[in-house]
Amino acid sequence: MRKPIIAGNWKMFKTVSEATAFFADVKGKAEVDGVETVICAPFTTLPALVEAAKGTSIAIGAQNVHFEDNGAFTGEISGVMLKDLGVQYVIIGHSERRAYFAESDEIVNKKVHAAFKHGLTPIVCVGEKLEEREAEQTKSVCKVQTEAAFQGLSAAQAAEVVVAYEPIWAIGTGKSSTSADAEDVIAFIRDVIAGLYDAATANAVRIQYGGSVKPNNVSEYLGQSNIDGALVGGASLEPASFIALVEGAK
């Protein structure tokens, strides 16, 4: 059985004091039996959050990682550094990184390998743009992105990947995909992974939906047989809302 996973993606929000105040508010409450809770926070807040999360069941994640271990890459953070902090997860290939920071499928794949090299669990984002959806290219886009992200991974590694299907037109717009639509695409992504490996591996991979997930719609997504969690932006920023998201995943 796949354990549901709710991950907050704070994006470029929260100072250290805001992050620690948030954590104090959700501690104990965003910890629910049978649900995995992850907070993916800005780099600057990670040391304080990892410290605050000690002894809790909440895992801390980063939102990006460089694919090299170290070197002349001004402004970048490596897997070595994240592992050293005690970070457990890392978001890779978020559509905002693909769109604003020119992350290609090849770079995404290198980052996925870097995550595994350093014992970090990658949350790999895939998803189509509005014009791709309108041109009925949703599945072909997701197939290309998924196959590229998994390239060179062993079946054992593949089974550990968390995939987040985030249709770009649904991010921060309030326009969420219907749960049936999301289920259809996510089942397709699972088939793509089965094609790369086998059914057992594909059935082990957790696939989240992301894009305007809120406390009032999270259980509808999680009720779909192939949807194993949610990657949440805006609604993960307020403690009460974040707790309700985790509760809704039970």
Ligand X SMILES: O=C(CO)COP(=O)(O)O
Q: Among residues 36, 66, 94, 132, which one is catalytic?
A: 94
Radius of gyration of the chain (CA): 17
Q: Is 11 annotated as a binding residue?
A: yes
Q: Which is nearer to ligand X, 168 or 192 (CB)?
A: 168
Which of 4, 93, 210, 215 is the binder for ligand X (CB under 6 A)? Answer: 210
CB of 123 vs ligand X, minimal distance in Å? 9
Q: Which is nearer to ligand X, 35 or 92 (CB)?
A: 92
Q: Which is nearer to ligand X, 132 or 166 (CB)?
A: 166
Is the CB of residue 194 less than 8 Å from the CB of residue 226?
no
CB of 191 vs ligand X, minimal distance in Å? 23
Which residues make Cβ contacts (< 8 Å) with residue 76, sequence separation at least 6?
66, 68
Active site residue 166: yes
Q: By CB under 6 A, is residue 234 in contact with ligand X?
A: yes
Q: By CB under 6 A, is residue 211 in contact with ligand X?
A: yes
Q: Is 64 annotated as a binding residue?
A: no
Report d(CA 225, CA 205) in Å as an integer. Answer: 13
Binding site for ligand X (CB under 6 A): 9, 94, 166, 171-172, 210-213, 231-235
Binding-site residue positions for substrate: 9-11, 172, 212, 233-234
Binding-site residue positions: 9-11, 172, 212, 233-234
Looking at the annotation, which residues are catalytic? 94, 166
